[in-house]
Amino acid sequence: MDFIAQGVLEAFRLLMLGDPQTWSAVRTTIGVSTMSIMASLVLGAPLGFALGYYEFPGKRGVRLLVDTLLSLPTVVIGLLVYAFITRQGPLGDFGLLFTMRGIALGQTLLGLPVVVAMTATAVESQDRRLRQTLLTLGASPGQVLLTTLAEARFAVALAAMAAYGRIVSEVGISMMVGGNIKWHTRTITTAIALETGKGEFGMGVALGLVLMFIAFAVNLLAVMLRRSSQR
């Protein structure tokens, strides 16, 4: 039990005194997860919207596939990405292994299904009358699309939060693709795995708390953005 108390004290010490190793891991985590969430949203929001908005043959199958991908374990994604970006793999020449870009690639694959599935569900469940009302008011199909898009923005924001939560907390991809390299690809989660592996449980708890601070800050930012947009 005492290492939990130790960890809480340690967390404050690390952040307050600006422990360079901890800050390096914080920077890596924020950097990588930012790249991943941006890519997940840029790719996922339009895909999810299209999946929810349009009717096409095989739509059910696609939905099923996306929902299944939600439960793909991070180590499997890590393994797949490793297989592609190892020097012997098809993308070996890009030199992505043991880099932040490599981790971001894997984490994008993790965030993408979340964004697609949640956006699609939100668009599908939008009030059916919205479309009819718009058409009655004489809106062109393009205007209907734009209005639906605008109505879906909160769903996308919600999807972004959920995806970010998954991305920032995963350890499998970061470990397998990033290699937990000190000062370069050591994220908070791989650092936790390393410290617990070394038997430094207090340090592990401390880093866990640091990660929670970051999540808290991100959520706080989201709330503030929402407030300012509702004015």
Partner 1 sequence: MKQVRMIVMVMALMLLTLGVARAETLMMATTTSTDNTGLLDYLAPIFQADTGIELKWTAVGTGKALKMGENCDVDVLLVHAPAAEKAFIESGFGSERRQVMYNDFVIIGPAADPAKVKGMKVAAALKTIAGSGTKFISRGDDSGTNKKEISLWKASGMELPDKEAWYVQTGQGMIATIKVAEEMGGYTMTDRGTFIKYADTNNGNPPLVVLVEGDDVLFNQYSVLLLNKEHCPNARHDLAEKFADWMTSEKGQKIIGDYLMLNQKLFTPNAK
Residues at the interface with partner 1 (CB under 8 A): 27, 30-31, 34-35, 38, 86-88, 92, 97-98, 100, 179-182, 184, 196-200, 221, 225-226, 228-229
Nearest approach in angstroms of CB 38 to partner 1 is 6
Toward partner 1, which CB reaches closer, 13 or 184?
A: 184
Toward partner 1, which CB reaches closer, 14 or 66?
A: 14
Toward partner 1, which CB reaches closer, 181 or 212?
A: 181
Nearest approach in angstroms of CB 180 to partner 1 is 6
Nearest approach in angstroms of CB 110 to partner 1 is 19
Closest listed residue to residue 35, CA positions, set 152, 123, 161, 164 = 164
Toward partner 1, which CB reaches closer, 98 or 169?
A: 98
Closest listed residue to residue 184, CA positions, set 31, 15, 24 = 24
Nearest approach in angstroms of CB 216 to partner 1 is 16
Toward partner 1, which CB reaches closer, 87 or 129?
A: 87
Taking residue 63's Cβ as centre, other Cβ atoms within 10 Å add up to 17
Nearest approach in angstroms of CB 126 to partner 1 is 21
Nearest approach in angstroms of CB 88 to partner 1 is 5
Toward partner 1, which CB reaches closer, 139 or 157?
A: 157
Q: For residues 15 and 18, give the distance between their C-alpha atoms in angstroms, rounded to a whole number.
A: 5
